[in-house]
Structure 1
Amino acid sequence: MNTDWAAALLHPRRVALVGVSDDPNRTSGRPLQFLRRAGFEGEIQVVNPRRETVQGERAWPSLSALPERPDHAFILTDTDKALDALEECQALGIPVATMLSAGFGESGEQGAANQARLADILARGGIRLVGPSSIGVVNLHAGLTLTANAAFAEPDLPRGGIFVGSHSGSLIGALVSRGKRKGIGFAGLVSVGAETDLSIGEICATTLDDPKVTSYMLFIETLRHAEDLRGFALAAAERGKPVAAFKLGRSEEAAELAVSHTGSLAGVDEVADIFLKECGIARVESFEGLLEVMPLLERVPATALPRRGRVGVVTTTGGGAAMAVDQMALRGVEVVPASAETRARLRAVGIDAGEGRILDLTLAGAQYDVMKAALDVLRQAPEFDLVLASVGSSARFNPELAVQPALDAAQEPGTPLAVFLVPDAPEAAQRLARAGVPAFQNPETCGDAVAAALSRRTPRRQAPLDPGGADRPAPTVLDEAQSYALLAQAGVPVAPHVVLGVDDPLPDLPFGWPVVVKVLDAAIPHKTDAGGVVLGVADKDALRAAIATIRDRVAARTGGHRVERVLVQQMTRGVGEVLLGFRRDPQVGPIVVLAAGGIYTELYRDSTMRLAPVDRAGAFEMIAELKYARVLDGFRGAPKGDLAALADAIVGLSQLALLHEGRVAEAEINPLFVLPEGAGVCAIDGLAQVFDT
């Protein structure tokens, strides 16, 4: 069988349209019209068992009846017939098929049966599938508009270097239509649908060595095939081809989930955010940002170390520039004033730089010589990572003059340059787009794209992703003593403790008073809620009383649950306390989380995370990102905490990703006390879950 699906996907010599309608206005009739209009040079084979001709072209009753086997079949029928057609494709050795039909895992009992049959066909091998629920694949450079998306009726779609992978079929049409208005061209677009077989990562990877593809846009709804996506992103970074993504999932509703536990702090969107960042993928917050960010990514290199991003702003309209500045600042981008040296260079070319953060040229900046001179000076200044030129009303009424300084300056070496167009100036935007100059047409998109570009990191290489857990039974919850043993194996210091039976004679403790006494029972992970904690126990008599109190309170609050054992732990205090957690995410695999600990975990949304394992440099980055870390670093003259020991604990806990053959599902320390500088850290409470072998 011919299994060269990668070539057949976007460069087929023959395509078969299965179930194509005679009505070109129907969804299933569009692909034939689109292929003809686009000038597809390959052979188009029409399959329709009910008609001898379709839209004036000969139709064949089945795939088997075709005189030559197609390379790519686009299946446009209902679900039952689609599965029959896919089965025929597999038997004939057709390398790849795209399936428009829905009605699978998302459609109840019948959908589950359809999904099972689909899986059985694919398991036989010899064919790869895009979909189901895919609206098609497009290669504009080859005239391959193998899609039912109505937007491809648009004539003269501009061609470019951007390749799009999208979970949403309608969005590929939105991108090309909006892109045409902005002068943005595409190389190809694929709607992956349900990703039952071929994933966004696999499909994009087939284009990595295509010289006509220079960058990638992704519209993502889920990280269902995270390892494929990461492998593609790493390879794209090696080739210098930037990747941008817009992922659904940012919402206040999602944010409200991140309150107290590792599993909540590491919500779906938070995990996606760090996954994309560590893959070197620039995540934008808006659909318009996705459209406009690419020229900027092609000019602003990713960095190995974190940077906030320093932007110099020059404008002909102070109010317009202020809007962009506000939006950048909201996203952590720093707009910095010109240095004394740069101001002196500006004065030397006749420009009064003033003292403000923004260089406002006023109406004089509408003159070519003034704006060009300012851009030349600012783009040679070492204090900026990016220069943003804000252009006022002249961009609409004199586009050929207003943006010419930026067009000319962008051709010369220097700091990356972008343009914010304050008025609605479509012609100016298209001029900039054709020249590849980053241009933004509203302040929110400008702030979004600039922040995404300046925060983009080079991908971090690590062990293969191991999501695990998806097909395993629920993990077993360990009690606190067992959890401490697991933490100790990972190199995380735990507070001195002993385990006592509630009816056992009280021994002499191997550590001093006071102590805390806790119920020790895997069935009671939240001990305080169950009345299972007594603090400040000062001696043996108080210890005996504390055990009796815990036994009675737990029984009263849990419907008679019998307490068998308690954990007695030496009390200590630290400079501060953090939550340190590990979790095996079902989509992207192991992650490590650092957050403000104790009651602050519930009060503040202050957390950071990484894919695990992390190294020491990554651990210090995490600490620096935590707002609460200021408390640990001698805020207002307070004692400094042992941040080096905290970094070591983060590294140690993240090693649970590799220890015990991937059996650790989750582990959480809350709180982890950070002791004074040089004294280390100490886990005061721990909870872990493991998968049974």
Structure 2
Amino acid sequence: MAHDFDRLLDPASIAVVGIGARPSGPARRIVANLLSLGYEGALYPINPKYETILDRKCYPSLEAISAPVDLAIISVPAVNVPDMLRRGAALGIRNYMIISSGFAEVGGEGHALEAELKEIAAQNELLIMGANCAGSINFHGRKHLSFTAVFEGDEFKAGPVAYIGQSGAMGPIFYSMAVKQGIGFSHIISSGNETTHGLTDFVEYLVDDPNTKVIVAYAEQLKNGRCLLELGRKAKAVGKHIVVFKSARASAGARAAISHTGSMAGNDAICSALFRRTGIVKVRTLEELVSVCKLLLATRPLPTGRRTAILAISGGTAVIAADLVEESGFAVPRLHPDTRERLKEWLPEFASFDNPIDVTSGLFYRPDKFAKVLECLTEDPGIDQLVVFGAYKHAIGQALAEASAKVLADCPKYSVAAWISGGPEVARYFTDVGVPYFDNFAQCFEALNLIVPADEGAKAEVKSDGGHAAPADPQQEVLTEDVVKAQLKTFGVAVLDEVVASSAGQAADAARKVGFPVALKVISPDIPHRAKVGGVALGLHSEDAVATEFDRMLARVRERVPGATVDSVVVQKMVAPGPELFLGMSHDPSFGRVLTFGLGGILTEALQQISFAPLPVSLDDARQLVKAVPAVKALLSFNPGAEDALAQVIARVSDWCVSKGEALKELDLNPVMLDEGRPVLIDGLAVVHHAETAPVPAAAHS
């Protein structure tokens, strides 16, 4: 296959069937484009009406050519295309680009015509690009085999990005946007109706192409999705990336796709989920596509986690950056103590010594110190990626950019620059050292969110910071599940039968007492999210299974979270599967302590079906909280009396929160479930800040 695709995309001899004298004709424009780039191969325009076209000898037919032909470009009425394929195949021509339309995309007789093309191709082992395609462009080979006018006013820029798409116009549009961001291309390929060879065939070829690093596929429908998933794995293994711009996600788009290519669009939700598993990046807009390509073309390996260090030139940009980072699903962790200590040498004493870093006006005119601060961040063991936020293209802005770029040039960690109003003068400093550059803060993190898988972010949360545990806050106390439940039980909140066990034997005895099946959950104030580190086991049905899992769980958790206190587990009776609800409390700087209620389990963040109420929450307030979440109200409708019982639980939890006073900073009860129609607390965690050692608040940034 490789040999045929080489001749299809990089032909040494080309026949163009159906070329005319009209300048706007697609076949004539292909020849004009080829000649404009100095094509030196054999070129055979075919039309019996003319002796020459574009100063080239014109041939009356394919049979009149006495030399081998690598590629035949067909631009004749659809009804005549089958005959041209048969005649070409008889002459030994195996590769075809059919730019004629009027096949499956128009329905009716078009389907029959395309079926005939497939039959001829199968009988003669032909490779067809199209039908109904816009051709291809080989940038490194300087072969413009397309009728598009993509380069009018644009630079012909070769590079490492390849585009293959089921839309002829999308490739040139993407190119015109990307080239303005300094992105070069290896190929633009229009697959059209994909009569014999489609998107995945071209992707497979490009995975092996030495000139291509990022493969962009525009897909309205996937005929061979499983093959694309395998290619995603293969590309990742060789250090390349596949990006899919999947359209036809909604019903109207799907209808348009049918009329465009003559094929049905698939389920977008399934497509998204499977792509994530195989390392394929999926985008929704051309803007996302350009941004993602910039990130994937960086000279550093992609980040494996979501812990982000931010260096900003002002407090305002630092706050904006921190918001965007966390809203995009990334973490802004505290810096390592050694890093904070090193920063004292370079930052003014009134500056922030933690993440995000605001260098203040004291360093705005000191590019040398700005660079030293950035250097400290590059060496922090608890950081996966760095983002430098700046502004302005005047002399000072350029000096800061130049100083930053010099540091990042030698930094092995993934780095990005987001610089408002920087312009090409600033962009050049970063792009020259392989650091992606953005002039839009939001686009930067929207794109990063697409290339760093969410599961990788979860792993980053639990791995140790280079072997250094974060120092514990002496004023903060974590109330573990067993403590929270015991206290809430005194306020009338129902909990499941459970026992705390500190040995395998105790766990087995406890399981027998509470009744099988049981769940085991490790107890540790150092591990708030136990499931992520293997600290939860469900559905254990025997004493032997419980004893064995106790030993395995403690060993597993101690290995994954070194230094954490791990001595015991909760042995808990399990309830029948059912609706999972969430109840929590947090401290809002504007409204004080606020109670949150909604769907629980994995749906808490995914669906955002939640409601809020400031403390204290009365029984009537609690009823309103329940009614404010439509999904919960619908779920409870199957359990008479559950809605009012749940409102009572919410009110009692509010009473407990009030009793704890301002020291209670966080509460997370997730999930609350129904056990035979009765709300019961399954899991819980709270954070208390002791008032007697509370720190003096820092001055707010204004």
TM-score by length of 2: 0.61
> 1: CA distance between counterparts of 2:13 and 2:397?
45
Q: Which residue of 1 aligns with 2:329?
A: 332
Deviation at 1:254, TM superposition (A): 9.6
Q: 1:636 and 2:678 equivalent?
A: no
Q: 1:214 and 2:213 equivalent?
A: yes
Q: Is the 8 A contact 1:101 1:133 kept in 2?
A: yes
> 2: CA distance between counterparts of 1:366 and 1:83?
71
> 2: CA distance between counterparts of 1:438 and 1:605?
33
> 1: CA distance between counterparts of 2:366 and 2:20?
58
Cα–Cα, structure 1 residues 409 and 641, in superposed 2: closer, same or farther, change >3 Å?
Answer: farther
Q: Is the 8 A contact 1:573 1:675 kept in 2?
A: no
Q: Is the 8 A contact 1:286 1:448 kept in 2?
A: no
SS in 1 for 2:117: helix
Is 440-449 or 293-302 further displaced after alignment? 293-302
Q: Is the 8 A contact 2:391 2:422 kept in 1?
A: no
Q: Which residue of 2 aligns with 1:406?
A: 404
Q: Is the 8 A contact 2:166 2:193 kept in 1?
A: yes
Deviations 1:62-91 (A, max 9, x none): 222212121122223332233433333333
Deviation at 1:181, TM superposition (A): 1.6
SS in 1 for 2:193: coil
> 1: CA distance between counterparts of 2:154 and 2:197?
30
> 1: CA distance between counterparts of 2:681 and 2:669?
17
> 1: CA distance between counterparts of 2:244 and 2:365?
35
Deviations 1:290-327 (A, max 9, x none): 22323433456468xxx761211111144445445444
Cα–Cα, structure 1 residues 444 and 125, in superposed 2: closer, same or farther, change >3 Å?
Answer: farther
> 2: CA distance between counterparts of 1:390 and 1:16?
53
Deviation at 1:222, TM superposition (A): 2.1
Q: 1:377 and 2:376 equivalent?
A: yes
> 2: CA distance between counterparts of 1:7 and 1:156?
25
> 1: CA distance between counterparts of 2:111 and 2:672?
60
Q: Which residue of 1 aligns with 2:426?
A: 428
> 2: CA distance between counterparts of 1:278 and 1:141?
32
Q: Is the 8 A contact 1:128 1:197 kept in 2?
A: yes
Q: 1:35 and 2:34 equivalent?
A: yes
Q: Could you tell me which of 453, 456, 467 is aligned with 1:455? A: 453
Q: Which residue of 1 aligns with 2:340?
A: 343
Deviations 1:210-233 (A, max 9, x none): 322222222222222213322322
Q: Which residue of 1 aligns with 2:281?
A: 282
Cα–Cα, structure 1 residues 433 and 31, in superposed 2: closer, same or farther, change >3 Å?
Answer: farther
AA paired with 2:420? V
SS in 1 for 2:97: strand
> 1: CA distance between counterparts of 2:38 and 2:455?
40
AA paired with 2:434? G
> 1: CA distance between counterparts of 2:318 and 2:100?
48
Deviation at 1:122, TM superposition (A): 2.1
Is 225-234 or 382-391 further displaced after alignment? 225-234
> 1: CA distance between counterparts of 2:252 and 2:421?
34
SS in 2 for 1:21: coil
Q: Which residue of 2 aligns with 1:313?
A: 310
> 2: CA distance between counterparts of 1:406 and 1:185?
25
Q: Which residue of 2 aligns with 1:49?
A: 48
AA paired with 1:31? I
Deviation at 1:641, TM superposition (A): 11
Q: 1:121 and 2:127 equivalent?
A: no
Q: Which residue of 2 aligns with 1:17?
A: 16
Q: Is the 8 A contact 1:3 1:95 kept in 2?
A: no
> 2: CA distance between counterparts of 1:200 and 1:157?
24
Deviations 1:509-556 (A, max 9, x none): xxxxxxxxxxxxxxxxxxxxxxxxxxxxxxxxxxxxxxxxxxxxxxxx
Deviation at 1:185, TM superposition (A): 0.8
Alignment of 1:103-502 (within 5 A): 103-154=102-153, 156-249=155-248, 268-297=267-296, 298=298, 301=301, 309-350=306-347, 354=352, 357-363=355-361, 364-365=363-364, 367-394=366-393, 400-423=398-421, 425-455=423-453
How many residues are aligned here?
478
Q: Which residue of 2 aligns with 1:646?
A: none
Cα–Cα, structure 1 residues 182 and 676, in superposed 2: closer, same or farther, change >3 Å?
Answer: closer
> 2: CA distance between counterparts of 1:455 and 1:362?
33
SS in 2 for 1:150: coil
Q: Which residue of 2 aligns with 1:82?
A: 81
Deviation at 1:456, TM superposition (A): 7.6
Deviation at 1:166, TM superposition (A): 1.8
Q: Is the 8 A contact 2:386 2:414 kept in 1?
A: yes
AA paired with 2:119? D
Cα–Cα, structure 1 residues 367 and 185, in superposed 2: closer, same or farther, change >3 Å?
Answer: farther
SS in 2 for 1:15: strand
Deviations 1:244-283 (A, max 9, x none): 232225569999xxxxxxxxxx982211111211221122
Deviation at 1:147, TM superposition (A): 0.7
Q: Is the 8 A contact 1:140 1:188 kept in 2?
A: yes
Cα–Cα, structure 1 residues 152 and 573, in superposed 2: closer, same or farther, change >3 Å?
Answer: same
Larger-gyration structure (1/2)? 2
Q: Is the 8 A contact 1:163 1:186 kept in 2?
A: yes
Deviation at 1:120, TM superposition (A): 1.8
> 2: CA distance between counterparts of 1:143 and 1:209?
19
AA paired with 1:84? D
Cα–Cα, structure 1 residues 202 and 348, in superposed 2: closer, same or farther, change >3 Å?
Answer: same
Q: Is the 8 A contact 1:308 1:334 kept in 2?
A: no
Q: Is the 8 A contact 1:278 1:457 kept in 2?
A: no
Cα–Cα, structure 1 residues 398 and 202, in superposed 2: closer, same or farther, change >3 Å?
Answer: farther
Q: Is the 8 A contact 2:105 2:193 kept in 1?
A: no
AA paired with 1:309? R
Gaps of 5+ in 1: 256-265, 459-571, 579-595, 607-626, 629-633, 643-673, 678-693
Cα–Cα, structure 1 residues 240 and 37, in superposed 2: closer, same or farther, change >3 Å?
Answer: same
Percent identity for Structure 1 against Structure 2: 26
Q: Which residue of 2 aligns with 1:680?
A: none
SS in 1 for 2:434: coil
Q: Is the 8 A contact 1:135 1:147 kept in 2?
A: yes
Deviation at 1:12, TM superposition (A): 1.6
SS in 2 for 1:403: helix
Deviation at 1:387, TM superposition (A): 0.4
Cα–Cα, structure 1 residues 311 and 146, in superposed 2: closer, same or farther, change >3 Å?
Answer: same
AA paired with 1:408? K
Q: What do you get for the CA RMSD once the two structures are aligned?
A: 3.9
Q: Is the 8 A contact 1:316 1:365 kept in 2?
A: yes
SS in 2 for 1:448: helix
Q: Is the 8 A contact 1:244 1:282 kept in 2?
A: yes
Q: Is the 8 A contact 1:165 1:200 kept in 2?
A: yes
Deviation at 1:457, TM superposition (A): 7.7
Q: Which residue of 2 aligns with 1:96?
A: 95
Is 358-367 or 125-134 further displaced after alignment? 358-367
Between the two structures, name the one with larger relative contact order (CA 8 Å, sep ≥ 6). 1
Q: Is the 8 A contact 2:299 2:435 kept in 1?
A: no
Deviation at 1:397, TM superposition (A): 6.3
Cα–Cα, structure 1 residues 457 and 102, in superposed 2: closer, same or farther, change >3 Å?
Answer: farther
Q: Is the 8 A contact 1:302 1:457 kept in 2?
A: no
